[in-house]
Chains A and B, each alone.
Chain A
Amino acid sequence: MSNEVNLLLENIRTGNRSQNSEALDKLLPIVYKELRKLAASFLNREHAVSLQTTELVHEAYFKLTNQRSVDWENRGQFFAIAAQAMRRILIDAARARRTLKHGVEKVSLDDMPLITTSMDHSLIDLDDALKELEKFDERQCRIVELRYFSGLTIEETAEVLDISPATVKREWAIAKAWLFQKINRS
């Protein structure tokens, strides 16, 4: 039953640091691709079919791991990766549209989520600020991804990162304050 994704997830969980980051590098594009496909198909349907972000990620998980129920320990890893992937999908879409608007480069938008463009600017600012934050607080960056891009609750975020909900709550508040200030200052 193990497929490539399962194997990579297992590696991330059990492996050493270098194996870990290698597996991550391989896994991210796979998850990214799947999520992007799923997101585009869900979001572009004619009759506003909608779903929760977490369920989108679940769908991706089931597809990629070819499992019927969740291997709980690997699920956390998957969610963390999926959150990064979601961030990239949404930010890429925003950047692509902005590029398109300026007519600099032609980008295929065929399978990009068709979302409103009014937020593109602030999304890109947020992404930039997150990159800055990641330099000195990677965990806060993960929390923001899980909460904002993947739509996880405080409790779910706590489970994925294996920390207490109180910690998530506190870190989330501080991260938001810092990002808010960063974006509004620049």
Chain B
Amino acid sequence: MNTAEWLQIKDLVSQAIDLPDDQRVRFLASISDSTIRTEVKDLLASMSDSADFIETPLMVELGAVENEIVDRLIGTTIGNYSLLKRLGSGGMGAVYLAKRENADFTQFAALKIIKRGMDSEAIVQRFSNERRILSSLKHPNIAQLIDGGISADGLPFFVMEYVEGEPLNEFCRIHDLGLEERLDIFRKICSAVEHAHKNLVVHRDLKPSNIIVTEDSVPKLLDFGIAKVLANQETLATETGAFGKMLTPEYASPEQIAGKPVTTTSDVYSLGVILYELLTNQRPFDFRGRSYEDLIDTAKRTEPPRPSQTASRSGLTSEEGSRAFSVPKRLLQGDLDNIILKALRTDPSERYDSVRQFSEDISRYLTGKPVHARPQTARYRFEKYYMRHKIAVLSAAMVLISLITGISIATWQAIAASRERSIAERRFREVREMANSLMFDIHDSIKDLPGTTPARKLLVEKALAYLDQLSAESTDDDTLKIELANGYEKIADVQGGAMGSNLGDSSGALASYAKALAIREELAEKSGSGEQQYAAAILHSKSFQVLMLLNDFEKAEIHSSLSIEILAKLTAAQPGNSVYRITAARFYLERGDLLASLATGDANLALENYRQSIIAAESVPENGELDQKAADGLTLREKILSVEQMAYRRIGQNAIVRKQPEEAFANYEKALEKSRQLAAQNDPPKPQHQIVLAISLGNLARAQADDGDLEKAIANAANMLEICEKVANDDPKNYLAVSQLSLAHESLGSVYFKLRNFPRALENLGEARRIQEAIKQDHPEDIYNIGNLGETYAFIGVIHEELAKSRTRRTENLATAAGWHRQSLDIWLELERNGTLPAYYGGKIEEQRKALARCRI
């Protein structure tokens, strides 16, 4: 190779690096010289492989050098300070722990001095700049400047308050701080940065390692090494020289990385990254092994993933069972997501205007007031997405959308013009078809494709706008109204219905259900039609289900009572209608669950509803209708059996809580009988029916174990385990099967416990715990699983207590037991704090506190 060829190759490589994959392929193909093309291709391919290659200096690699150095300065005196040890060292300077002594006092301080050989004019200037800035700042959360001068060697130095503590993230980890404590510390950091900004100082290098937290939880901001004074609030461009690029890319704002003007909102961005990491244990972007150019590109064009999305990826349980902190997804969703993302907007003008606003929004979150941060609109996100995937989106959605909107606009224009009525009417029909079928056909055809969520959202948005327009215009045409109600209901299902895949927009779903409901109610009132009333009841039930997922029990209660009221009227009017009866049975069951979930719920009322549910289900007359499949693929008989077994189970569970073993047995036996019938409805049995059977076996096994009938208990629990394992193996994504598998282990473990086979019991419970912890990570909203996990922890604790009685290692086992009870208690406290502690778990907090007291050595 000659130099000219090499220059050409280097140039091509530099250009290709920045290109997205698809464009890169085209770019490479356009290189005519095949030798050069191959060389460029190979180099690009080698680029990622060689990311770490010779990256560590040889001497370090050989283990011959470390960061701690032989330091001539240690032991010497600079100013009035004797240097004790080196605390840290950067490229240009080093910081020492220093001591000043006189007759009255000893003062420890941190002394920062330029390294010998590094005292270039630029560095000296930067150094005195930092000193000047520090001297202008006086704040409890900023390390205070004490002194400064020139050493005997002629090197400039300054002395700061010595902050003893841990770097921010380390501190939070060691002390295992919770959400509110983390936010409190973070707000103190904000106040320090705010103080700097008031003094026209932009820090420009905010990162957790520059924030030391003292034992009393006081954070102190250090290292104003690349801070800058803004003259008269003007903005300034980052220097293009060496210092400008000394920032830490992970925490730097996009404008900093791109070398554009930096303002106080750049610090807002860095604070956003710090908070993101503080709450999710991950940074919004992973820059490791990325080229500088790539980095600029990422920061410029990409919005970070929502913290709540990231949170579920992190916080993995390590082998010791300790957990990397991550705020539960559920707590991040909504306000905290919005707050953090507002700080992290690419465009500085879209961020918080000031650190104060940022901090105040967190304060509003903490005090339960509405926050100012709002999620970006679907349109905004779509535009971002569109920029990135122009071609794919264009073909997948834009064409269809423009088709739909194009027609609808044309239609309205045509109608408004009032001319060519027949054409307008024909078009109008087309639009109706579009809204009622085509829109959903499009949606259904793309819903399983990865990355189409933005397109689906836009589709929903358009469909909704269209329906709103149509309903505003709608006259007395009842058929159209029914279509509108159907349309709203379908859209709501897609937005956030409780069943099936949805877009996660619960409030949107509730609004659309409400619109559908309004139309149905109007139609029902006008015509008195049972069909319309039934449809309204179903809408109440769907709203109920969404609200239950949101743990908004109060509003759920309203929908639940309305749905039952309607069904009671309908059943009275048409006693022979099987569908009404079975639906009523389902509504009673749902209401029972609601009442059981309410912290203030009345267990007897819940029980009453479960009994009503069974009565309604059993009252369905036997006839040929029962074995016909409905649209959802289930026969009426299947629906009856599944409601029945569930209601019996609930009564059994209730009896357990009331300590009525006989009643529990009777109801669990009934539940099992109904479950077996249900499974027998299909050959081979449907997976969901097998899971139901497993659940019933498990209930019975646990009750039998409690009652001392260990032989039967083991048989039932083993049977349950077998069924769950089979279903989970057939379909590892079957969340219910996996969840039940954990309960099967728990049941079996409890029987072994009764048999005093503690190692086996621990084995099964350990398995249960692992599964439940994994589910908690993926589905933090599943409070039933969290409850199960709380029980599992407690049980493992109890087993260790037993071990402490019978073994020599008493202290050790008691300590272990205490650890598990602590974990259990934390779960119940967490549920209580979030207002999601179900009534039937009410005694758990007290129970675990007592257990902990028992374990005190």
Contacts and interface: CB of A to CB of B under 8 A. Distances in A.
Question: Are A and B co-members of a single complex?
Answer: yes
Interface of A: 42-43, 48-53, 55-56, 58, 61-62, 68-70, 72, 75, 86, 90, 113, 115-116, 119, 123, 126, 136-137, 144, 147-151, 153-156, 158-159, 164-166, 169-171, 173-174, 176-181
Interface stretch (B1-9, B492-500, B572-580, B735-743): B1-9
B68 interface: yes
Interface of B: 1-3, 5-6, 10, 13-14, 42-44, 46-47, 49-50, 53-55, 57-70, 91, 116-121, 153-154, 240-243, 245-246, 291-293
B69 A155 contact: no
A173 B48 CA distance: 9
Contacts of A49: 70
B64 A69 contact: no
Contacts of A171: 10
26 contacts: A43-B64, A48-B66, A50-B69, A53-B65, A61-B117, A62-B117, A70-B120, A86-B58, A90-B59, A119-B61, A137-B3, A137-B10, A149-B57, A151-B58, A151-B60, A155-B91, A164-B240, A166-B292, A170-B14, A174-B10, A174-B14, A174-B43, A176-B50, A177-B46, A179-B53, A180-B53
With a 10 A CB-CB cut-off, give which of B6, B61, B65, B241 has the most chain A CB atoms: B65
Contacts of A62: 116-117
What are the 7 tightest A-B residue pairs by CB atom distance, in nearest-first order? A151-B57, A180-B50, A177-B46, A50-B66, A181-B46, A155-B242, A58-B117
Contact of A180 (B46, B243, B245): B46
B6 A177 contact: no
A141 to B, nearest CB: 12
B54 A126 contact: yes
A126 B242 CA distance: 29
Contacts of B117: 58, 61-62, 69-70, 75
Given A58-B117, A150-B57, A156-B91, A52 B46 contact: no
A153 B50 contact: no
Contacts of A86: 58
Contact of A149 (B10, B58, B70): B58
A86 B118 CA distance: 20
Nearest to A75: B117
Contacts of A147: 54, 57
A170 B293 contact: yes
A84 to B, nearest CB: 13
A43 B70 CA distance: 12
* Overall SS of chain B's interface: loop
A151 B121 contact: no
A165 B70 contact: no
Contact of B64 (A50, A149, A158, A180): A50
A43 B58 CA distance: 13
Contacts of A178: 43, 46
A95 B65 CA distance: 21
Contacts of B154: 68-69
A148 B293 contact: no
A159 B242 CA distance: 8
B246 A155 contact: yes
Contacts of A150: 57
Contacts of A55: 69
A86 B65 CA distance: 14
Given A55-B69, A169-B291, 16 more contacts: A49-B70, A50-B68, A52-B65, A52-B67, A53-B58, A69-B119, A70-B117, A115-B64, A123-B58, A126-B54, A148-B54, A148-B58, A151-B65, A166-B292, A170-B292, A179-B50
A137 to B, nearest CB: 6
B62 A116 contact: yes
A75 B1 CA distance: 33
Contacts of B67: 52
A179 B53 CA distance: 9
A179 B408 CA distance: 61
A116 B58 CA distance: 11
A117 B338 CA distance: 55
A181 B50 CA distance: 8
Contacts of B5: 136
B603 to A, nearest CB: 67
A51 B70 contact: yes
Contacts of A169: 291-292
Contacts of A56: 59, 65
Nearest to A49: B70
B87 to A, nearest CB: 16
Contact of B62 (A42, A115, A181): A115
B13 to A, nearest CB: 6
Nearest to A157: B242
Given A137-B3, A169-B292, A181-B46, A158 B242 contact: yes
A182 B246 CA distance: 31
Contacts of A137: 3, 6, 10
Contacts of A72: 120-121
With a 10 A CB-CB cut-off, give which of B3, B54, B60 has the most chain A CB atoms: B54
A151 B118 CA distance: 15
Contacts of B59: 53, 56, 90, 151
Nearest to B3: A136
Contacts of B62: 115-116, 119
A181 B42 contact: yes
A136 B245 contact: no
A113 B6 CA distance: 36
With a 10 A CB-CB cut-off, give which of B68, B69, B291 has the most chain A CB atoms: B69
A155 B57 contact: no
Contacts of B10: 137, 171, 174
Contacts of A156: 91
A155 B243 CA distance: 8
A166 to B, nearest CB: 6
A179 B49 CA distance: 11
A81 B246 CA distance: 25
A126 B54 CA distance: 10
A95 to B, nearest CB: 15
A179 B50 CA distance: 9
A165 B242 contact: yes
Given A50-B65, A75-B117, A148-B54, A180 B49 contact: yes
Contacts of B46: 177-178, 180-181
B53 A176 contact: yes
A68 B242 CA distance: 25
A158 B62 CA distance: 25
A136 B3 CA distance: 5
Contacts of B66: 48, 50
A166 B64 contact: no
A11 to B, nearest CB: 21
A12 to B, nearest CB: 18
B10 to A, nearest CB: 6
B121 A51 contact: no
A51 B57 contact: no
A166 B54 CA distance: 19
A117 to B, nearest CB: 10
B33 to A, nearest CB: 16
Nearest to B50: A180
Nearest to B10: A174
A53 B50 CA distance: 23
A175 to B, nearest CB: 9
Nearest to A151: B57
Contacts of A70: 117-120
Nearest to B63: A116
Nearest to A133: B6
B59 to A, nearest CB: 5
A144 B61 CA distance: 15
Contacts of A68: 153-154
Contacts of A136: 1-3, 5-6
Contacts of B121: 72
Nearest to B153: A68
A119 B154 CA distance: 42
A137 B3 CA distance: 7
Contact of B245 (A69, A90, A115, A155): A155
